Structures are given as structure tokens and as C-alpha cells.
Structure 1
Amino acid sequence: MRDCVFCRIIAKEEPAYIIYEDDKALAFLEHRPSSPGHTMVIPKKHGETLVDFSPSELSMVFRAVQTVVKALEKTFATTMLTIGTNYGELSGVPHLHIHCIPRFPDDGGGIIQSVVYNRPKEDLKTIQERIKRHIQGCPPVLTWRLTYCS
């Protein structure tokens, strides 16, 4: 998609500091980093949400996330990261992306829930019941199977 900046990065039509690439995913440094090494991992296939991808496609993207995380841990001597998946209209770019943000003591960051502040007006039991009604009416999209990669 020509109007998607991430698709243009994949096509090498837009500059980016690429740190990892395979046939299914690409990882590059965030252009407005929250932390040294703040990296975006994106699928090479354009899709806006998790349900736009097959289980095997998602598996390959998250394999790339795992590779990037291991490199970030070694590079920045940390075992603390915030990893967040963004998609949808408010994500900034309409292309599934996963932030991998190295964390450090006293970095001023918070828990991942701190990025949104919209306290529910309903109690948790009511919310649970509402979600479960929808889950029961939806066919499973993903079927997970453990496979070990060499």
C-alpha cells in the first residue's frame, strides 16, 4: 500500500534504521524513541489488526520480536522491556506494529497500562459477562501449536 509508511519502509522507499529483516518481518528503530533501542517490529504483509494474519504469519512476526528482544537485552544490558502491540485507528499507522522498548531503572516510564487512562464505569463482573457473550459467538481465529525453531 503506497499510502502506508510502513509498507514504504518495507519496499525501501522510505528511510529507516533497519536492525532485522527476514522474509516475513522487519524491525527498525522508532524515529521518535522512548528509550535507547526502541524498536518497531512489523509484518511485511500489510494488515491493520491481528486477525488480518494467519497463525503461522503471526508466529513468524513474533519470532522476529523474540530475536529483536534478545539483541536489545544484550546490547543495552537489560532484561526489562515493555512490549506493546498497536493497531487500529488510534495507533498512528494503519499497519500492525509491535513496540519493543528497553527499560532501565529510573527511566521515568510506567507500566504498559499507563498509556491509556479510561477507567471503566462498569464493574469487572459486568464487563466479563459482556466479553464472554461475544467470545462464545465468535469462532476461534487462532489455533496455537507449540513448535520449536532451531
Structure 2
Amino acid sequence: MPAGECLFCAIGTGEQPGHVVLSDDVAVAFLDTRPVFKGHVLVAPRTHVETLTDLPAPLTGPFFGRVQSVAAAVEQGLEAGGTFVAMNNRISQSVPHLHVHVVPRNPKDGLRGFFWPRTRYDEPAEAESYALRIRKALGPDP
């Protein structure tokens, strides 16, 4: 699928704007525009695949290594108590490109079960400040 037809591919190539926190040959990670909590990151494989079962086996380990790094960076960079890491396959997948949600969590933050209330950043500068904190926590070579 050409990048112009997939929002996440277009963010990965820079054709669409996004607050990118990680970008390499394996994955691109960027802030969700409708986060559960501010700092909610989506990690997507660089290669366009629709679901987990479509991800080539040789990319599985490297991709989930990036998810693991982003989860650690969200906790460290945002001083979160933990993270909620989740993925949908087809059902509830608003963009048909595999992506893993990494949501910052804290005790008594109000998230219950699979009810995901959404919020918005007040302005692009606020979103970028969250992305910067996560990028810094990832270090120079995530």
C-alpha cells in the first residue's frame, strides 16, 4: 500500500505530520492524536502490514524490541508509574496498519478495564513537549 493511502505509513515517511518519538528501519512511534492519557504512543512497523499475523517472523523480535524501548521511555520520560500496552487486530483498529498502544499509567488514574476515554492536547506545542520527553528518555540510539 502506498504511503499516501495509509496514514501511519505517511507519518513514517514524513508526508503527514506527527509527533514522532522513534523512527528507524524497523518502526516508527508517534503520539496518538486522541490519547487515553497524554503521552500515549503508537508504535507501528515501518513496513505496511495490517495485523500481527501479517508481520513477517523476522521482524517480530525487532519490532517488539522497539515497543519495549518505547514503554520504558514513556515510564521514564513522563515519570509514569507504568504503562498499558495493547494492540487490536481488525476489530477496533481505526487505521488498518499494525500498531501497538503504549499508554502511560499511574495509580488511581481512572482507567478501568477496556473503557478508553480519549482526550486531546491543548495545542501542538504541548504534544511536542510530551514527544520530546519520551525521545530524550529513548536516548540517542533506541
Which TM bucket (shorter chain)? 0.7 to 0.9
Deviation for aligned residue 1:89 = 5.0
Deviation for aligned residue 1:110 = 1.6
**Secondary structure of 1:90's aligned partner:** coil
Higher Cα Rg: structure 1 or 2? Answer: 1
**Secondary structure of 2:102's aligned partner:** strand
- Scaled by the length of structure 1, the TM-score of the pair is 0.70
Q: What is aligned with 1:4?
A: 6
Deviation for aligned residue 1:79 = 3.6
CA-to-aligned-CA distance 1:2-55 (integer Å, 9 cap, x gap): 211011111110000000111110100111111121000000100111121222
**Partner Cα separation in structure 1 for residue 92 and residue 111 of structure 2:** 21
Q: What is aligned with 2:139?
A: none
CA-to-aligned-CA distance 1:70-104 (integer Å, 9 cap, x gap): 11111122242111112315310000000000011
Contact 1:87 1:97 in 2 (8 A): no
Deviation for aligned residue 1:108 = 1.2
Q: What is aligned with 1:136?
A: none
> Relative contact order: is structure 1 or structure 2 higher (C-alpha 8 Å, sep ≥ 6)?
2
Q: What is aligned with 1:126?
A: none
79-88 or 19-28, which deviates more: 79-88
1:66 to 57, 65, 68: 68
**Secondary structure of 2:36's aligned partner:** coil
Q: What is aligned with 1:102?
A: 104
Structural RMSD (CA) = 1.6
1:46 equivalent in alignment to 2:48: yes
**Secondary structure of 2:92's aligned partner:** helix
State the aligned residue count. Answer: 114
**Partner Cα separation in structure 2 for residue 75 and residue 90 of structure 1:** 28
**Partner Cα separation in structure 1 for residue 97 and residue 9 of structure 2:** 8
Identity %: 36
- The one-letter code matched in structure 1 to 2:85 is I
